[in-house]
């Protein structure tokens, strides 16, 4: 789907557990300027409901399971993240909504830019207008 991809990270598994690493410009296609994480989300809660003008991010579910609805004016898909060695790349102009967080789920996000509220498109109609030139 436009500006989205599932990424597979190395998973070094042994009887003592799993180790994955994320290196900028190698495992994710950008330089990492920010890392944030989301925890303690109730099972009925939904987050996101925005797109970004410039920001690139990779979402990784470190524990439990989380669903991400990704959409643009012409496509829509739901991805379930439940493997710490898998990341969902979300580039600019992808509307995304996160839901069905399981109890104790942990979402880690690596991002290409510092936090900037002016990069957000939080109103869906505004997002549709902004993205029209890219989707015809
Ligand atoms: P938001 O990106 O809307 O979260 P979500 O998409 O998961 O619902 O951010 C929620 C609040 O946190 C908002 O007030 C902005 C703030 N925030 C930061 O201060 N720094 C950050 O890196 C992020 C991602 C959010």
The residue extents of the domains of the chain are 4-135
* Distance (Å) from CA 16 to ligand 1 centroid: 34
Tokens of 72: 């643009």
Tokens of 54: 């410039």
What pTM was computed for the model? 0.97
The CA-based angle 12-40-55, given to 5 degrees, is 70
* Burial group, residue 42, by CB count within 10 angstroms (0-12, 13-18, 19+): exposed
Residue 136's pLDDT is: 73
- For 64, other C-beta atoms within 10 Å of its C-beta total 17
Identify whether 126 is a catalytic site residue. no
Cβ(48) – ligand 1 distance below 6 Å: yes
Question: Pairing between strand 34-39 and 86-90?
Answer: unpaired
* Distance (Å) from CA 36 to ligand 1 centroid: 9
* Distance (Å) from CA 120 to ligand 1 centroid: 10
Residue 20's pLDDT is: 98
Question: What gap in Å lies between CA 60 and CA 37, rounded to an integer?
Answer: 9
Q: Is the model's pLDDT at 132 over the cut of 90?
A: no
Q: Are 126 and 51 spatial neighbours (Cβ–Cβ below 8 Å)? A: no
Residue 122 alpha carbon, nearest atom of ligand 1:
3
- The answer as to CATH 2.60.120.10 being correct for domain 4-135 is yes
pLDDT digits 0-9 by tens, 15-64: 999 999 999 999 999 999 999 999 999 999 999 999 999 999 999 999 99
């Amino acid at each position: 789907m436009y500006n989205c991809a599932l990424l597979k990270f190395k998973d070094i598994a042994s009887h003592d557990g799993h180790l994955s690493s994320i290196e900028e410009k190698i495992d994710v296609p950008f330089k990492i300027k920010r890392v944030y994480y989301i925890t303690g989300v109730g099972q009925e809660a939904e987050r996101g409901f925005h797109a970004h003008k410039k920001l690139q991010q990779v979402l990784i579910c470190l524990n439990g399971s989380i669903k991400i609805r990704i959409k643009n004016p012409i496509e829509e898909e739901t991805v379930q993240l439940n493997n710490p060695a898998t990341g969902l790349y979300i580039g600019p102009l992808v509307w995304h909504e996160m839901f069905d967080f399981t109890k104790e789920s942990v979402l880690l996000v690596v991002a290409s830019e510092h936090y900037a509220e002016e990069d957000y498109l939080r109103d869906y109609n505004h997002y549709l207008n902004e993205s029209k030139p890219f989707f015809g």
